[in-house]
């Protein structure tokens, strides 16, 4: 599985917001973009997806910003990646048999499903707090 820029930047955004939130601060996308060296517009798109996924909350207005929807130890990296990447399965036919004419009789399909299950188990075991604390297996 190749994680796109969307997934990588979403994780960076979540880490940034978690760090700032430890001090009780709301984070604007402009602030996060400056710290991360990323586009405000791009982060706003990611922020919307992360709010819809229930891992971020936002407050609108002049003194608004973003904050974690729940404690960092309850936010799974899998939730962040699926919010921005969609499925984390390595091939489309595992999620949707209609994407492949051979899905029903494909000998390799079990392998792809197993690989996807291993990826999902790993990204769902690691929390945002684990990443912040450096408690991630290499």
Q: SS3 string of the chain?
A: CCCCHHHHHHHHHHHHHHHHHCCCCCECHHHHHHHHCCCHHHHHHHHHHHHHCCCEEEECCCCCEEEECCCHHHCEHHHHHHHHHCCCCCCHHHHCHHHCCCHHHCCCHHHHHHHHHHHHHHHHHCEHHHHHHCCCCC
Identify the pLDDT of residue 39: 94
Domain ranges of the chain: 5-133
Q: How confident is the model at residue 21 (pLDDT cuts 50, 70, 90)?
A: confident
Lowest mean pLDDT of 5-9, 96-100, 122-126, name the range. Answer: 96-100
Instruction: List, for residues 80-117, the tens digit of each pLDDT value.
Output: 999 999 888 888 787 776 667 776 678 888 898 899 99
Give the CATH class of 5-133.
mainly alpha
Q: Is the pLDDT of residue 74 over 90?
A: yes
Q: With a cut of 80, say whether residue 133 has pLDDT above it.
A: yes
Q: What is the pLDDT of residues 26-62, one digit of tens each?
A: 999 999 999 999 999 999 999 999 999 999 999 998 8
The reply to whether the predicted model has a pTM over 0.85 is yes
């Amino acid at each position: 599985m190749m994680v796109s820029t969307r997934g990588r930047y979403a994780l960076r955004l979540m880490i940034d917001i978690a760090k700032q939130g430890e001090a009780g601060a709301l984070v604007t996308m402009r602030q996060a973009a400056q710290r991360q060296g990323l586009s405000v517009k791009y982060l706003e798109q990611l922020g919307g997806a992360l709010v819809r996924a229930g891992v971020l909350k936002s407050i609108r207005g002049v003194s608004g910003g973003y904050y974690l929807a729940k404690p960092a130890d309850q936010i799974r990296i899998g939730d962040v990646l699926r919010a921005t990447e969609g499925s984390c399965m390595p091939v489309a036919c595992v999620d949707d048999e209609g994407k492949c004419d051979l899905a029903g009789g494909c000998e390799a399909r079990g392998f792809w499903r197993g690989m996807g299950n291993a990826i999902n188990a790993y990204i769902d075991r690691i929390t945002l707090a684990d990443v912040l604390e450096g408690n991630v297996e290499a």
